[in-house]
Amino acid sequence: MADDSLVTLDSSLKQHDTKVSSGGTVRAYSHDTGSGPVLCLVHGYPQSAYMWRHVIPLLKDKHTLYVPELPGYGLSSIPAKADKRTVGNLIVVGLQSVFGKERKVVWIGHDRGGRVGHRMLVDNKPEHNIISAMLLDIVPTTEQWRSFANPAASVAYFHWPFLASPAAPEIIEQIGGYNWTKGNLERIKGSNATGAARFQENDAIEHYSTLFAKPETIKGSCADYAAGAFEDVQEQEKDQREGRKVGLPTMVVYSASNLGRMHDVDAVWPKWVSGEAELRCVGIRDGFGHYLPEECPERVAELIEEWVGKYGK
């Protein structure tokens, strides 16, 4: 089941395994309309590119898509370093190996994929050709750590310090990566019954749980969280001290009952985006939870269409 992928569900997608300079590969799936920007859809934890399976059919007739497997998450190789800049650069290498260096890019990232996107937006390297972004269900990593002053947030986000601990991979293997992942997925999904059913379609929980039973997936994803506790935070703190902020149009889409319950999302993000760049925060209500692209894909696709229509030229 872990080897099932997006091409299993949609044969129009092409699979790519791009060799990178570190010696590993980046796996991704693409669909090219022949024009317009490339929408780079990046997943989070504990998932894979499979999470975009409901959104892709709603977008592919109009938009070019590149859907990578996060390096270190079981289907792309574990990167030499797990910080968000290194991972983002590897994804761009994969994307440009498929589409070349001239195509513009709209970064659409959920959870960890959104955190990689945040790093890329602040770096804003011309050669990456990123022109706008949508970040799903996140606040900046540093703000997330600050929320641990709230005991309720510490309980809700207990996996952050746990996964960053050197002991985490061994403990998860003792529990069983399958059981650990299945329990987390069932805990975090939203309360909307329709959304929960959509999330579970196509044996998604089985797919993710089997993938995260692999020792290399456990090791790679824990390394991601460890970087998120150290290098990534240090970089963000330096950015804020030196006035480097997101300078590209950015839409933040979040679950009002999940992220919005612990953070004032609309108040937090303006501190991290320059006044010259448009920022729009959209809270999705009705009990849809963290896994928005799976729980309410039509709403997510509608917002992507709106944002790309405005900032995808």
Q: Per residue of the chain (313 residues), what is the pLDDT tens digit?
A: 455 689 999 999 999 999 998 789 999 999 999 999 999 999 999 999 999 999 999 999 999 999 999 999 999 999 999 999 999 999 999 999 999 999 999 999 999 999 999 999 999 999 999 999 999 999 999 999 999 999 999 999 999 999 999 999 999 999 999 999 999 998 887 899 999 999 999 999 999 999 999 999 999 999 999 999 999 999 999 999 999 999 999 999 999 999 999 999 999 999 999 989 999 999 999 999 999 999 999 999 999 999 999 999 8
**pTM to 2 decimals?**
0.97
Q: Coil, helix or strand for 171?
A: helix
In 3D space, the residue among 72, 88, 44 whose CA is nearest the CA of residue 169 turns out to be 72
| DSSP string for residues in 135-160 | EES---HHHHHHGGGSHHHHHHTTHH
Q: Are 313 and 306 in contact (CB under 8 A)?
A: no
- Cβ-in-10-Å burial (0-12, 13-18, 19+) of 166 comes to exposed
Query: For the chain, what's the residue count?
Result: 313
Q: How many angstroms separate the CA atoms of 160 and 226, rounded?
A: 9
